[in-house]
Amino acid sequence: KAGVTQTPRYLIKTRGQQVTLSCSPISGHRSVSWYQQTPGQGLQFLFEYFSETQRNKGNFPGRFSGRQFSNSRSEMNVSTLELGDSALYLCASSLVGTVGGDTQYFGPGTRLTVL
Amino acid sequence: TQLLEQSPQFLSIQEGENLTVYCNSSSVFSSLQWYRQEPGEGPVLLVTVVTGGEVKKLKRLTFQFGDARKDSSLHITAAQPGDTGLYLCAGVLNNYGQNFVFGPGTRLSVLP
């Protein structure tokens, strides 16, 4: 079974631009969660999507948004990029979601650098 | 303020040594997970503990969940260079907006 895939793996943008990251979950998984990982703040939860609906959201500004398609693939978008948005963005998929601690499988991440 | 604290932050040991890393919180978790993350990869789940006082063994790794479900430890016996990585604990909080809260991690380096 193929694992979670994320594209692109690396991205360089400049301040003020916007970016879209993509995540393809494991086949059959309906939940996709997004995390931001930085050296200073560690892994922080962005949001979770289940069956095309956002089910949970972390404490990030509205510049961070996401969506999920009917095939469970998910995208996240960051608008008006700031230097502090430079991070590793991780996507994780699970069968039914993180409620109750369902096992999450992480992708390799997208490394975003904002100049 | 981190809901989950991990200690130590960094650990460098020789192959064959034993080590313990800790995950602590003032909050009660319904379950707690340990992950290992290697450079350039996403975290990989090692174990989930759900019952206070629970002990789980995975080869040379022993995981313990505190009786009060506020803390956990990971003990590695006879560490090997392949154990090198970032060890993260993550807790599931009841009645909390975010499903998972991650600790900052312990970066382990096992030297041959």
The 3-class secondary structure across A42-76, one letter per residue, is EEEEEEEEECCEEEEECCCCCCEEEEECCCCCEEE
Q: Any residues with CB less than 8 A from the CB of A39 and at least 6 apart, and which?
A: none
Return d(Cα B67, Cα B83) in angstroms, integer.
27
Instruction: Assess B14–A contact: CB distance below 8 Å, yes or no.
Output: no
Contact B99 A56 (CB under 8 A): yes
Which chain A residues contact residue B44 at CB under 8 A? 106
pLDDT recorded at residue B31: 85
Residues lower than pLDDT 50 in chain A: none
pLDDT recorded at residue B37: 96
Query: Mean of the pLDDT values across residues B27-36?
Result: 90
Return d(Cα A32, Cα A91) in angstroms, integer.
7
Which chain B residues contact residue A44 at CB under 8 A? 102
Q: Which residue of B has its CA nearest to A100?
A: B92
pLDDT recorded at residue B3: 83
Encoding tokens for residue A77? 């978008």
pLDDT recorded at residue B97: 46
Which chain B residues contact residue A89 at CB under 8 A? none
Instruction: Assess B95–A contact: CB distance below 8 Å, yes or no.
Output: no
Query: Mean of the pLDDT values across residues B4-14?
Result: 96
pLDDT recorded at residue B92: 79
pLDDT recorded at residue B94: 62
Rounded to the nearest angstrom, the minimum Cα separation between A45 and chain B is 7
Q: Which residue of A has its CA nearest to B2?
A: A41
Contact A43 B88 (CB under 8 A): yes
CB atoms under 10 Å from CB of A73, counted, come to: 15
Instruction: Assess A97–B contact: CB distance below 8 Å, yes or no.
Output: yes
Which chain A residues contact residue B33 at CB under 8 A? 101
CB atoms under 10 Å from CB of A3, counted, come to: 13
- In the numeric block, the tokens 């469970």 are attached to A72
pLDDT recorded at residue B1: 61
Instruction: Assess B92–A contact: CB distance below 8 Å, yes or no.
Output: yes
In contact, B106 and B12? CB cutoff 8 Å: no
* Type of residue numbered B5: E
pLDDT, tens digit, for every residue of B45-98?
999 898 999 999 999 999 999 999 999 999 999 999 999 999 999 987 765 544
Return d(Cα A102, Cα A33) in angstroms, integer.
12
Q: Out of B42, B50, B103, name the one closest to residue A108 (CB).
A: B42
- pLDDT-derived band at B30 (thresholds 50, 70, 90) equals confident
Encoding tokens for residue B29? 């978790």
pLDDT recorded at residue A99: 57
Q: How far is CA A36 from the centre of its chain?
A: 7
Return d(Cα A14, Cα A114) in angstroms, integer.
5
Query: Mean of the pLDDT values across residues B28-37?
Result: 90
Contact A108 B98 (CB under 8 A): no
Return d(Cα B37, Cα B105) in angstroms, integer.
9
Encoding tokens for residue B95? 């009645």
Q: Any residues with CB less than 8 A from the CB of A71 and at least 6 apart, and which?
A: none
pLDDT recorded at residue A66: 97
pLDDT recorded at residue A20: 98
